Chain A
Amino acid sequence: MDACVLASRAAVDRIRRALALDRRVIEPRTVEGAPVWTATNGEGALAWSTAAPLAGVKGWLVPPREPVLAWDDTGAMRPVVPCPERVAFVGLRACDLAAIAHLDAHFGSDPWYRARRAAAFLVGLDCSGACAGGFCLEVDAGPFARAPFDLNLTALPDGRVVVAWGSAAGVAALHGAGVASTPVDDGTALLLAELAAGAAASFPVRPYVARGLARMNAAPAGGAIADEEWQAVGPRCLACTGCTSLCPTCTCFTVVDEPVGAGGTRARIWDSCLLEGFQRQASGHHPAPRPGDRVRRFWYHKLSRDFAGPTGRLGCVGCGRCDVACPGTIGALGVLAALGGER
Chain B
Amino acid sequence: MSVVAPPDDFAAALPHPARVVAMHDEAEDTRTFVLGLATPVPALDAARPGQFVMLSLLGHGEAAFTLAHLPCAGAAPGTVTLTVRRVGALTGAFFACEVGASVGVRGPFGRGFPQDGADRPTLYVAGGCGLAPLRSAIDAQLRARAAGTPVAILYGARTPGSRILRASLAGWRVQPDVALFETVEEAAPGWHGRTGVVTELVAAAVAAVGAERAALCGPPGMLRSAAAALAAAGLAPGAIHVALERYMKCGTGLCGHCYVNDRDVCSDGPVFSYGELLALPDAFGPADSAFG
Do A and B associate with each other?
yes
Which residues of A line the B interface, CB within 8 A?
A: 68-69, 71, 75, 77-81, 104, 106-112, 114-115, 117-119, 148, 167-169, 220-223, 227, 251-257, 259, 264, 266, 268, 271, 273, 278-290, 293, 297, 300-301, 304, 306-307
CB-based closest 8 A-B pairs: A111-B5, A252-B256, A79-B10, A306-B262, A111-B9, A286-B291, A282-B87, A259-B59
CB atoms of B245 and A283 under 8 A apart: yes
| B184-226 with Cβ < 8 A to chain A | 219-220
Asked if B14 is an interface residue, CB under 8 A from chain A, the answer is yes
Asked if B4 is an interface residue, CB under 8 A from chain A, the answer is yes
Evaluate whether A75 and B58 lie within 8 angstroms (CB atoms) in the complex, with A69-B14, A81-B7, A289-B291 already known: yes
Q: How far is the CA of A28 from the CA of B183 in the complex (A)?
A: 66
CB atoms of B88 and A281 under 8 A apart: no
Asked if B96 is an interface residue, CB under 8 A from chain A, the answer is no
CB atoms of B249 and A283 under 8 A apart: no
Evaluate whether A264 and B246 lie within 8 angstroms (CB atoms) in the complex, with A111-B9, A252-B257, A306-B262 already known: no
Shortest distance in angstroms between A1's beta carbon and chain B's nearest beta carbon? 22
Interface CB pairs A-B, < 8 A, 8? A79-B13, A109-B252, A221-B279, A252-B257, A253-B249, A271-B249, A271-B255, A289-B291
List B contacts of A169 (CB < 8 A).
Answer: 2
CB atoms of B58 and A254 under 8 A apart: no
For the complex with contacts A168-B2, A169-B2, 13 further pairs of A-B residues with Cβ separation under 8 Å are: A79-B14, A112-B5, A114-B3, A119-B4, A220-B281, A227-B288, A257-B58, A259-B58, A259-B59, A278-B247, A279-B247, A287-B260, A289-B290
Evaluate whether A222 and B281 lie within 8 angstroms (CB atoms) in the complex, with A77-B17, A285-B219, A307-B262 already known: yes
Per-position binary interface string of chain B over residues 68-91, scored 1 when its CB falls under 8 Å from any chain A CB and 0 otherwise:
000000000000000000011001
List A contacts of B104 (CB < 8 A).
Answer: 77
Q: How far is the CA of A167 from the CA of B63 in the complex (A)?
A: 40
Shortest distance in angstroms between B257's beta carbon and chain A's nearest beta carbon? 6
Q: How far is the CA of A323 from the CA of B255 in the complex (A)?
A: 24
CB atoms of B13 and A68 under 8 A apart: yes
Interface size on B, residues (CB 8 A): 53
Asked if B182 is an interface residue, CB under 8 A from chain A, the answer is no
Asked if B174 is an interface residue, CB under 8 A from chain A, the answer is no
CB atoms of A283 and B286 under 8 A apart: no
**A-B CB pair tally, cutoff 8 Å:** 150
Q: How far is the CA of A167 from the CA of B2 in the complex (A)?
A: 9
Q: How far is the CA of A71 from the CA of B288 in the complex (A)?
A: 45
Shortest distance in angstroms between A302's beta carbon and chain B's nearest beta carbon? 12
Which residues of B line the A interface, CB within 8 A?
A: 1-7, 9-11, 13-15, 17, 58-63, 87-88, 91, 102, 104, 219-220, 245-247, 249-250, 252, 254-262, 279-282, 285-286, 288-292
Contact of B15 among A77, A167, A221, A254 (CB under 8 A): A77
List B contacts of A111 (CB < 8 A).
Answer: 5-6, 9-10, 13
Shortest distance in angstroms between B241's beta carbon and chain A's nearest beta carbon? 19
CB atoms of B3 and A253 under 8 A apart: no
Q: How far is the CA of A307 from the CA of B256 in the complex (A)?
A: 13
Q: How far is the CA of A67 from the CA of B119 in the complex (A)?
A: 48
Contact of B285 among A78, A110, A266, A285 (CB under 8 A): A285
CB atoms of A285 and B245 under 8 A apart: yes
Chain A residue, CB-CB nearest to B255: A253
Q: How far is the CA of A307 from the CA of B87 in the complex (A)?
A: 34
Chain A residue, CB-CB nearest to B62: A255
Q: How far is the CA of A89 from the CA of B88 in the complex (A)?
A: 44
Contact of B87 among A222, A257, A283 (CB under 8 A): A283
Chain A residue, CB-CB nearest to B16: A77
Q: How far is the CA of A223 from the CA of B282 in the complex (A)?
A: 9
Chain B residue, CB-CB nearest to A230: B286
CB atoms of B281 and A223 under 8 A apart: yes
CB atoms of B5 and A115 under 8 A apart: yes
Q: How far is the CA of A118 from the CA of B2 in the complex (A)?
A: 5
Evaluate whether A257 and B60 lie within 8 angstroms (CB atoms) in the complex, with A79-B11, A286-B291 already known: yes
Evaluate whether A118 and B4 lie within 8 angstroms (CB atoms) in the complex, with A69-B14, A281-B247, A290-B286 already known: yes
CB atoms of A304 and B262 under 8 A apart: yes
List A contacts of B5 (CB < 8 A).
Answer: 111-112, 114-115
CB atoms of A81 and B10 under 8 A apart: yes
Shortest distance in angstroms between B6's beta carbon and chain A's nearest beta carbon? 8
List B contacts of A287 (CB < 8 A).
Answer: 246, 260, 282, 285-286
Q: How far is the CA of A168 from the CA of B253 in the complex (A)?
A: 30
Q: How far is the CA of A284 from the CA of B247 in the complex (A)?
A: 11
Shortest distance in angstroms between A129's beta carbon and chain B's nearest beta carbon? 30
Contact of A285 among B1, B220, B250, B254 (CB under 8 A): B220
Q: How far is the CA of A268 from the CA of B249 in the complex (A)?
A: 9
CB atoms of A285 and B262 under 8 A apart: no
Q: How far is the CA of A266 from the CA of B10 in the complex (A)?
A: 13
Q: How far is the CA of A107 from the CA of B219 in the complex (A)?
A: 32
Q: How far is the CA of A318 from the CA of B30 in the complex (A)?
A: 49
Contact of B291 among A222, A256, A285 (CB under 8 A): A285
